[in-house]
Structure 1
């Protein structure tokens, strides 16, 4: 998927089966058009980010030997790549989920898929609901502040 060509929209909840597989929502599968994913821990939130592989790869800056000698760069590499998993949906559109990623997100039996423009996130369903409501409240507060300041 070239950058800018597809968006992930909507909220879907699917069950995690006994083999730790989950079906990607049909709308998201259509947007992926058969492309593999890169799954990673969110650096800010208690969820798993799902990046189309081409978008993730386009965001990578090549490193040099000097880069791995700087503590700040090392930290960035560990945070952004050590918990990253390549994931290719099977012929039925299912992903096999990584146990450590599921643990990070607190996911046990169902996964909420939240569209987020060119990526999507995987959440524990009640945590997803709480995040959406908190985001709405913050957006409303910002809108009120702008109106009052105008």
Structure 2
């Protein structure tokens, strides 16, 4: 089965929580293949423009993450790490993660989850489990 799922737009907070001064410094995207055949997906991470309506502008793809192809063997797992920076993202930006290919909610394809945080400490607003993704209708 081939489809497209997306996180939809989400904000990157300036700090991981209200009790610390730790900025969000990375986005970690976990991919798991739970069944017995190799599957492939393409991962795209976009930074959305910092504009306020009525102004609009197109998103930009983070360099190196435009349909990044990932193939996983049976029962394999990997993490894609994107560190903050001027060419990637920073606190206050809006992002969108899109996965194309062998994914589905019945765990017959590759399962996806991600979080943003600092040094292993996630920020709650940047945690997306597989079931949180939205299926994109290409019609």
State TM-score, norm by structure 2. 0.29
State TM-score, norm by structure 1. 0.28
Bigger Cα Rg? 1
Judging by fraction of residues, say which structure has more helix. Answer: 1
